[in-house]
Amino acid sequence: MKKSLGLTLSVLLLAATTACSGGNNGKPAAAGNSGGAGAADQVELRIMWWGDQKRADKTNEALRAFESKHPNIKVVGEFAPNSGYFDKLNTQLASGTAPDVFFLGGNVTDYAAKSVLLDLQPYVGQELDLTDMDQTMVEYGTLGGKLVHISAGANARGMVLNTELFKKAGMEVPADGWSWEDYARISKEISDKLGKGYYGTYNFTVEGMDIYMKQRGKQVYDMEKDALGFGQQDAEEWFNYWYGITKNGGMVTPSLQVSNPPGDTSKSLVVTGKVAMSLIPSNQFAAHQNLTQDKLTMIQVPRGPKGTGVVFESSQGLSGYAKTKHPKEVAELMNFWINDPDAAQILGSDRGVPVTSKMRDLLMKEATPLEQTVYDFTSRVSEATKKEPFAVSYNPPNFTEFTKLAETAVQEIGFEQKDVKQGVEDFYTGATQLFGAK
Amino acid sequence: MKTAHRSAMWRRSGTAYLFLLPWLIGFFGLTLGPMLGSLYLSLTKYDLLNAPRWLGLNNYRHIFTADEYFYKSLTVTFKYVLFSVPLKMAFALLVAIVLNKGIRALGIYRTVYYIPSLLGGSVAIAIVWRQIFDGEGLINHFLAWFGIEGPSWIAHPSYILSTIVTLSVWQFGSAMVIFLAGIKQIPADLYEAAQVDGAGKLRQFGRITLPMLSPVIFFNLVMGIINSFQVFTPGYVIGDGRGGPVNSTLFYTLYLYLKGFSFFDMGYAAALAWIMLIIIGLFTSIVFVTSKFWVFYGDGKDGR
């Protein structure tokens, strides 16, 4: 209590990182020398990612494979759970001790705007081969005219359904092409039929907001104008929709949503068979299914006027630290990540489907039935976006603060401290100020 | 004569400074620099990654005039201090009195009750607390025996703060040990005299124990206030780490941490930290100023 957790952690980290850099003389590798074993200067890279132990094991295995192919490079991995990852990264960036390579998600814009990311353009075609990478993914990683982000996997968001609960309720498992009205109705029906302690859906007002806006030709963040891309009225409709499901009993109680958040797979009530439906990114499907005997499946999100609003997009990717002493090796590591068959086989689709077509084909050939479910789903999304295309979107700047505002509004409405109108008004005012202030 | 007096003075205070030396080295070598640095940062816009930009008093102005979360986090923190400090002290005093009744193996009890104080601030205990007070946790299983359906104590904005206060009360050990030492210092003849005069137990407690303990109470109160204002870990771990549900765990230090490390506004966070320092200083000095009315020093300094 006397010392805050975060501060203690960062002090420990600082100690650890200085210890690391002490062992490495910080000499850049001599070019063209890497072939001669022993003669080459040793280079040490640090890489950081978020996720669970399982992901860490796989990632470390891939890093060892990289080391065996590049004997002059040693890679030290660090990881943190989702919740603390970005605080940790921010602290390290501030003190100038950030890892050479780190993972970023949709918030890559925040970091690109603060110019802490390495421009990878000089290495393209040399250490970094992008010929086989999806063009949209290359564009996604190009911000402000610089290539600063290499996607490590693509995914599409969709609904995860616990089919066991549908069976128990004697209901048919829904299919693609349903509407939001269907969704509300089915949620209520499941709750009613299964009785106390069972619910139709999680509340994903915040996570699904951008999808809903896109379905109506709007967006959460208008990058060109650097402003919100939706009006207060739009937000109110969306919040009202969820309030309706809360009222008719189709949704988990706000308390359960807090104690068993859908984002925490180990606690998710979809996994424990208490909630029938939720919104997840497709790369999370395996993590869910692996924790339960109930058969889960994925279908597309309910449709709005313009379609589903979901595109196949980067789930997360690698960025280099602008101050790294070994930019060339950083590029080599990224190249290994997206182009090397060994890497693809070790990493699988834990961070999403591979972004290079050769690796994708390789994994699909050997897909387990579980992975097959995910590929089926993502290919249906790809097909749908051919007919109804949507632009890939970026998170608004200060996304953490934006999310906090939105989640507070959802909870205030859920715990009945504010009505929908008031809650949305406060959220919208706060969100608008985020753009004014910075 | 004068020099002899001075050297005696110096010898006495010199010893004191010698004992203070580790703290002084720590303060001047480690703490002072960052403190001044944060004072400077509090006057700037600093997003952690780009150089600070001078703002003057704008951060402070914004905090007092336009920051809803500032007032919310203050309210939550004050509530916490208001409940946890008196409860913890009362509990510590109670246990100290019971232990003073000459229980066998006092050493063991003292150690056992002291352990929570050592562990209480840790993340692990906060996680255990989460499990105990969860919707399907121990407490609710216990309540279910009596047919009571308990709420999810850690997930409802109306209950979660009381869960965290319980955690702090549970760490009564260090205050208790100090009380126990204080009680042992009270001369037994005072009680004997009171007994002869026919004073009951309650009266003895009110007229002898409390006044004689008042310096210890004073010490525990000051330490308790300072520590409680800085509560962080339980809010971060038992809550969702973002102050939720509905800002009910948004302790002042947690808000400061979020501003600085998650929302990229370290200048603002530094300003918040300085305001906290002033608030804690204010409360501590209130206790100090009022202490002359209620703290009784048996060494006769106050002329009695």
Average confidence (pLDDT) over B45-61: 91
Distances (CA, A) of B98 to A265, A417, B101, B104, B179: 47, 44, 6, 12, 11
Note whether A93 contacts B: Cβ–Cβ < 8 A. yes
Structure tokens at A401: 């603060």
- State residue A312's pLDDT score: 85
Is A391 domain-assigned? no
Same domain, A426 and A297: yes
Same domain, A262 and A323: no
Q: CB–CB of B240 and A254 under 8 A?
A: no
On chain B, the residues whose CB falls within 8 A of the CB of A116 are 49
Note whether B111 contacts A: Cβ–Cβ < 8 A. no
On chain A, the residues whose CB falls within 8 A of the CB of B244 are 258, 407-408, 411
Give residues with Cβ within 8 angstroms of A318, minimum separation 6.
A101, A102, A103, A104, A149, A150, A152, A333, A334, A337
Output the CA torsion sign for A99, A103, A104, A109: positive
Question: Choosing among A11, A13, A87, A90, which should be mutated to test the B contact, i.e. which has the most B CBs within 10 A?
Answer: A90
On chain A, the residues whose CB falls within 8 A of the CB of B233 are 1, 4-5
- State residue A437's pLDDT score: 53
A239 to chain B, closest Cα gap in Å: 16
Distances (CA, A) of A196 to A163, A250, A416: 18, 11, 21
Structure tokens at A67: 């080391």
Is A187 domain-assigned? yes
Nearest to B245 among A84, A114, A258 (CB): A258
Is A8 domain-assigned? no
On chain B, the residues whose CB falls within 8 A of the CB of A259 are 134-135, 152, 154-155
Give the number of A-B residue pairs with CB atoms closer than 8 Å. 102
Note whether A266 contacts B: Cβ–Cβ < 8 A. no
Is A9 domain-assigned? no
Of all residues in chain B, the percent with pLDDT exceeding 90 is: 55
- State residue A40's pLDDT score: 58
Count of other CB atoms within 10 angstroms of residue A173:
15
Same domain, A403 and A368: no
Angle CA A97–A100–A101, to nearest 5: 125
On chain A, the residues whose CB falls within 8 A of the CB of B246 are 408, 411-412, 415, 417
Nearest to B246 among A93, A398, A412 (CB): A412
Q: CB–CB of A90 and B264 under 8 A?
A: yes
- Is the pLDDT assigned to residue B169 strictly greater than 50? yes
Q: CB–CB of A93 and B48 under 8 A?
A: yes
Q: Are A147 and A141 in contact (CB under 8 A)?
A: yes
Q: CB–CB of B261 and A261 under 8 A?
A: no
Question: Choosing among A408, A413, A417, which should be mutated to test the B contact, i.e. which has the most B CBs within 10 A?
Answer: A408
Q: Which of B193 and B240 is assigned the larger pLDDT?
A: B193
Question: Choosing among B38, B259, B262, B280, which should be mutated to test the A contact, i.e. which has the most A CBs within 10 A?
Answer: B262
Rounded CA-CA distance B173/B179 in Å is: 10
Same domain, A210 and A271: yes
Same domain, A212 and A74: no
Give the residue numbers spanning the domain of A338.
Answer: 15-151+316-379
Same domain, A328 and A296: no
- State residue A21's pLDDT score: 38
Q: Which of residues 351-410 of A touch B (CB under 8 A)?
A: 398, 400-401, 404, 407-408
Average confidence (pLDDT) over B137-165: 90
pLDDT in tens, A297-329: 999 999 999 999 998 889 999 999 999 999 999
Sole residue written with tokens 């771990």: B237
Residue type for position A323: K
Is A99 domain-assigned? yes
Same domain, A126 and A209: no
Main-chain dihedrals φ then ψ at residue B187, nearest 5 degrees: -60, 135
Q: CB–CB of B232 and A5 under 8 A?
A: yes
Same domain, A162 and A144: no
Same domain, A375 and A231: no
Note whether A425 contacts B: Cβ–Cβ < 8 A. no
Going by pLDDT thresholds of 50, 70 and 90, the confidence category of residue B298 is low
A49: left (phi over 0), alpha (psi -120 to 50) or beta: beta
Sole residue written with tokens 């449709």: A303
Nearest to B155 among A86, A255, A408 (CB): A255
Q: CB–CB of A83 and B241 under 8 A?
A: yes
Which candidate, A287, A354, A280, A342, places its Cα nearest to that of A317?
A354
- Is the pLDDT assigned to residue B132 strictly greater than 60? yes
Note whether B156 contacts A: Cβ–Cβ < 8 A. yes
Instruction: Round the average pLDDT of chain B to a whole number and report it.
Output: 89
The 3-state DSSP class for residue A263 equals coil
Same domain, A366 and A248: no
- State residue B3's pLDDT score: 63
Question: Choosing among A404, A425, A432, which should be mutated to test the B contact, i.e. which has the most B CBs within 10 A?
Answer: A404
Same domain, A425 and A289: yes
- State residue A16's pLDDT score: 41
On chain A, the residues whose CB falls within 8 A of the CB of B236 are 4-6
Q: Which of residues 269-288 of B touch A (CB under 8 A)?
A: none
Note whether B135 contacts A: Cβ–Cβ < 8 A. yes
Is A384 domain-assigned? no
Average confidence (pLDDT) over B170-182: 91
B184 to chain A, closest Cα gap in Å: 29
- State residue A136's pLDDT score: 84
Domain count for chain A:
2
Nearest to A114 among B47, B233, B261 (CB): B47
- Is the pLDDT assigned to residue B148 strictly greater than 60? yes
Q: CB–CB of A1 and B231 under 8 A?
A: yes
- Is the pLDDT assigned to residue B304 strictly greater than 60? no
Question: Choosing among B35, B240, B264, which should be mutated to test the A contact, i.e. which has the most A CBs within 10 A?
Answer: B264
Question: Which pairs from A243-246 meet CB under 8 Å and 24+ separation?
Answer: A243/A413, A243/A420, A244/A184, A245/A184, A245/A187, A245/A188, A245/A200, A245/A201, A245/A203, A246/A203, A246/A413, A246/A414
- State residue A33's pLDDT score: 41
Residue A351, domain CATH: 3.40.190.10
Is A176 domain-assigned? yes
Is A10 domain-assigned? no
ipTM: 0.82
Element containing residue A298 per DSSP (H, E): strand A296-299
Q: Are A172 and A166 in contact (CB under 8 A)?
A: yes
Question: Choosing among B154, B246, B280, which should be mutated to test the A contact, i.e. which has the most A CBs within 10 A?
Answer: B246
| Distance in Å from the first CA to the final CA of chain A | 32
Residue type for position B192: E
Q: CB–CB of A5 and B237 under 8 A?
A: yes
- State residue A23's pLDDT score: 36
Same domain, A143 and A226: no
Note whether B42 contacts A: Cβ–Cβ < 8 A. no
> Residues in chain A with pLDDT < 70?
1-40, 436-438
